[in-house]
Each structure stands twice: as C-alpha cells, then as structure tokens.
Structure 1
Amino acid sequence: MAIENRNICSLYDDEKENLLLLHSAELLENISQSKEKYRKIIQAGMAQWVKGLQEGRIKLDTVADLKLLIELDIQLQKDEEI
C-alpha cells in the first residue's frame, strides 16, 4: 500500500499554481472587504463633519479634515477600478 505524499514541495506545478491563485484571490477579497469598511468609516466621518458644520460646531477653517476624508475616499475608489 502506497502512502500519498501531500507535502507542498511535492505538488505538481499545476497544483502549486492553483494554490497560488487561490491564495491571491483570498488576499484580494480580504483587501476588498477592508476597503469597503474603510469607505463606510470615511463616509460616516464626512457625514459627521457636515452635520457639525450645519450645527455651527465646525468652522470653515477646519475644511482640511473634510478634504482629507474626501481624498481618502477618492483614493479607495481609484484602487477599486484596478
């Protein structure tokens, strides 16, 4: 009775390539999920900023915070197009 060797080093090239593709797909999915979470955080921050501005708690000299949130949101959207 022969024992099958499932050591990663003994896998055929096709099997190795499939494992690498699967790993890459999992990484891309995890990155995509993280970006979605970050965009939700950014959008919530933007909403709070606008609300604070409307309520007078934030003055126009703090626009840099909103600009940063917008730039982060745009960057995340650009990365999604790739």
Structure 2
Amino acid sequence: MTTGNTNKRSLSDEEKTEMLMILQAEQAEGIDKSKENYRKIAQAGISQWVRDFKAGNIKLTTVEDLKKLIELEMYLLKNDEI
C-alpha cells in the first residue's frame, strides 16, 4: 500500500502579506461600492422630497424640519469624503 504525500507547502511571509493586501483591497472596493449605492439611494430620496416640496405636498412647519435636512446633507457630504 502506497501512501501519498500529505505535506503541504506553507506560504512565505511575503505571500501571506500579498494575500492579505489583496483581501483588504477587495474589502475596500466592496465598501466603496456599497457607499456609492447608498449615496445614489439618498440622492434619489432627496430629489423626490424636493419635487414633493415644490409641488406643495410637503410643508416645512418648524425650524426642526430645516435643521434635520441640513444635518442630513452635512452627514452625506462628510461621509462621501471618507
């Protein structure tokens, strides 16, 4: 009966580092794609809100409404730079 070679070659530190860098790049690309998609959804929502506002379907009734809109825009701009 013959036994097969069960030894497996270990990765060198350089190969491990390269694999880790590839994985991190793929993860960063996935995060960027998700952020891009979320930004598109937010922009579409804001566009619809503006159309409804212009049509008179939405009324700003308090300063708090305006504050929330400004905070949303600031948040989106800030997180777009990350």
TM-score by length of 1: 0.77
Q: Which has the higher helix share?
A: 1
Quick check: which has more Rg, 1 or 2? 2
AA matched with 1:67: I
Which residue number corresponds to residue 27 of structure 1?
27
* Stretch deviating more after TM superposition (42-51 or 65-74): 65-74
Which residue number corresponds to residue 53 of structure 1?
53
User: Share of identical aligned residues, percent?
Assistant: 39
Q: What number of residue pairs does the alignment pair up?
A: 76
How many angstroms apart in 2 are the aligned matches of 1:67 and 1:4?
Answer: 62
- 5+ residue gaps, structure 1, are none
How many angstroms apart in 2 are the aligned matches of 1:32 and 1:12?
Answer: 30
How many angstroms apart in 1 are the aligned matches of 2:18 and 2:74?
Answer: 37
Give the drift of 1:58.
1.1
Q: Give RMSD over aligned pairs.
A: 1.9
TM-score by length of 2: 0.77
1:11 and 2:14 are equivalent in the alignment: no
- 5+ residue gaps, structure 2, are none
